Amino acid sequence: MPHRLPVGALVIDFDGTICPNDVSEEILEAFAPRTWWDIDLEFQRGEIGSRECLVRQGALLDGRRDEMLAFAVERFPLEPTFAPFAAWARDLGLPITVASDGFGFYIEPMLAAAGVHGVDIRTNDVALNGGRPAFAFPNAHPTCIGCGTCKMRVVQEQRRAHGPVAFVGEGHSDRYGALYADLVFAAKHLVDICRGDGVPFVPWTTFDDVRAGIELRATAPGPVEPETCPGWTEP
């Protein structure tokens, strides 16, 4: 009898996770003045939400979309074990949703360049065709304006559709996905965030670790799921 997996869906961060580099930050470093970092520190200190951070940083960009896209695809490969991991998940019927709160326009081309197709992508819509950048947030929460892409909402939607959810991430914007996921894989900054929030997590370095962490478990711990997301912000 085949082993029953403890989760029915995967939600995975992109910048710093599927791609080891934070591609949004790499683009800002190459195409914006250094003041973008001061805005990022405001976000890390919790003074502003990720949506405000994204809009203010994006307004500093000086470059065409095609230039930035070529820069991203040509310079920053995916984590080498992600493509085999995605194939493993596909063979098991385990849906993958990529949830990113970055600029996002580079995600699908970067996945395609690595031979990864057919994953659901939830990210922000950033138009960078010259002039002032324009932003839309198709994956935002209908009320809260703290984040551009609401990872809490993505996790909750996947749970309703598929059952328990595993979340894989590493950064500050992954906090809210981790709080609502049933099984959390954390690296880098997310490790300390999970410890501070009391979220059980599995450390990971490659997606081989994530696969093993899923295959070796019969059940998921379940979400911490606070009544109100700590990042909740209303207009």
Q: What is the mean pLDDT of the chain?
A: 95
Domain boundaries, the chain: 9-215
The per-residue pLDDT for range 93-140, each reduced to its tens digit, is: 999 999 999 999 999 999 999 999 999 999 999 987 766 789 999 999
Which residues pair with residue 92 across a beta bridge? none
State the pLDDT at residue 130: 65
Which residues pair with residue 1 across a beta bridge? none
The per-residue pLDDT for range 8-58, each reduced to its tens digit, is: 999 999 999 999 999 999 999 999 999 999 999 999 999 999 999 999 999
Position 207 pLDDT exceeds 90: yes
**Mean of the pLDDT values across residues 168-177?**
96
Q: Given pLDDT bands bounded at 50, 70 and 90, which one contains residue 204?
A: very high
Domain 9-215, CATH 3.40.50.1000 — does that match? Answer: yes
